[in-house]
A and B are shown apart, each in its own frame.
Chain A
Amino acid sequence: MKCKAVHSKLIFFLERELPEPEMKAVQEHLAACPECALFAEEMKKTLSILETEKVSEVNPYFYTRVKAKLDRQSEIQPSGIRSSVLARVLQPVAFSIILILGIYGGVKMGATGAKTASTFTAEQEMVPYLNDMDVEPLETFLME
């Protein structure tokens, strides 16, 4: 068995999940190859951490903490419901009212603007100047 093949089977070898002939082949390779044997040893040490990490002792205050958290949440819940109602219903209603008022105000302002625009045409704006010229000819103005 080659080193590459051993590397791909090492974790299964360490977990004893390989068929018997393969277990034997890997074992023989490790006995003859110090490089692979070293990696196998490192891997074994690293995987053994899993065993040491398991929770072996229980926290004696765990139930007290769960109960305290549960009670705290039960106390907070009524005001929590109120705040969620506020957030879910009142806020959108308030925003909708502001939006409608904004649109209404915009439409109203637009309408008054349109009215004034229709009364003042460009032609009418020129009339005073033309009339002024009628009343006071340019020659008279220059003479003065």
Chain B
Amino acid sequence: MSDQEIIEQLKQGSEAAFRKLVEGHQKLVVNTCFGLVHNREDAEDIAQDVFIEVYRSIQQFRADSKLSTWLYRISVNRSLNHIRDNKKHKWFQSFEKDVEARNRQILQVESSPTDHPGFEMENKQRAAILQEAINSLPENQKVAFSLNKYEDLSYQEISEVMEMSVSSVESLLFRAKKNLQKKLYKCYKKKCM
């Protein structure tokens, strides 16, 4: 079933078409959300809301852009809203809770079953450093970078999702990589990686 057929049937309220849409685009949506929120459970929760939004607003969808572009846009917006909400909540979160959460994370890492615990630990640390560096990027750079890296989107595709010119996307990605390199170098100098 093509995207066009799925949309047409979805507009008529077909549940089978909704199932096709979810199963066909689940990976795309979860990956996009994960690239921005860096937490598997949160990414799946946001992805569920993305599909619900698509189901509810399918009547407003016009064939101006591709279905995937629309899905990317909703996923990015929902993930950014989630990050903003989390930031607000962190203001009210006590320091003790923060420390507790960190300790729990470390315990999880230490108790995860693997053949190479040292290697696993190192990878988790690297992932945490990388996530922190990505999270510290300005919003637009972060979106462009995660679409490029997690979804392998071309500059042209990113420009369609972000509704900006290809040259702007090029410049965003260039600055994102420069900033990331700077942060990773600082971390390397401090011997944290």
Task: Judge if B79 is at the interface, Cβ distance under 8 Å.
Answer: no
B49 nearest CB neighbor, chain A only = A69
- A interface residues, tally (CB under 8 Å): 27
Residue in B52, B149, B193 whose beta carbon sits within 8 Å of that of A69 in the complex: B52
Name the prevailing secondary structure of the B interface residues: helix
Task: Judge if A104 is at the interface, Cβ distance under 8 Å.
Answer: no
Chain A residue contacts of B129, Cβ below 8 A = 46
- Whether B31 lies near A55 (C-beta < 8 A) is yes
Task: Judge if A31 is at the interface, Cβ distance under 8 Å.
Answer: no
Residue in B27, B34, B44 whose beta carbon sits within 8 Å of that of A53 in the complex: B34
- Whether A55 lies near B127 (C-beta < 8 A) is no
Residue in A39, A54, A66 whose beta carbon sits within 8 Å of that of B52 in the complex: A66
- Whether B126 lies near A45 (C-beta < 8 A) is yes
- Whether B130 lies near A47 (C-beta < 8 A) is yes
Q: A12-B177, A45-B126 are in contact. Are A53 and B150 (CB under 8 A)?
A: yes
- Whether A50 lies near B44 (C-beta < 8 A) is no
Q: Of B64-72, B82-90, B135-143, B178-186, which stretch is located at the interface?
A: B178-186
Residue in A8, A53, A58 whose beta carbon sits within 8 Å of that of B181 in the complex: A8
Chain A residue contacts of B10, Cβ below 8 A = none
Task: Judge if B76 is at the interface, Cβ distance under 8 Å.
Answer: no
Q: A11-B180, A62-B22, A63-B19 are in contact. Are A46 and B193 (CB under 8 A)?
A: yes
* Per-position 1/0 for B12-45, Cβ under 8 A of A: 0000000100110011001100100000000110
Which residues of A (57-100) have their CB < 8 Å from a CB of B?
58-59, 62-63, 65-66, 69-70, 73
Chain B residue contacts of A42, Cβ below 8 A = 184, 188, 193
Within the assembled complex, what's the spacing in Å between the Cα atoms of A42 and B55? 44
Q: A62-B44, A65-B48 are in contact. Are A39 and B188 (CB under 8 A)?
A: yes
Indicate the member of A39, A54, A62, A66 with the most B CB atoms within 10 Å: A66
Chain A nearest CB from B9 CB (Å) reads 16
* Per-position 1/0 for B156-193, Cβ under 8 A of A: 00000000000000000000011011001100100001
Chain A residue contacts of B178, Cβ below 8 A = 8, 11
Within the assembled complex, what's the spacing in Å between the Cα atoms of A62 and B49? 12
Within the assembled complex, what's the spacing in Å between the Cα atoms of A73 and B23? 21
B185 nearest CB neighbor, chain A only = A7
Q: A10-B181, A55-B27, A55-B30 are in contact. Are A49 and B126 (CB under 8 A)?
A: yes
User: Which A positions have Cβ atoms within 8 angstroms of B?
Assistant: 7-8, 10-12, 15, 39, 42-43, 45-47, 49-50, 52-55, 58-59, 62-63, 65-66, 69-70, 73
Instruction: List 6 A–B pairs whose Cβ atoms lie within 8 Å, in order of A's numbering.
Output: A50-B149, A62-B23, A62-B48, A63-B22, A66-B22, A69-B48
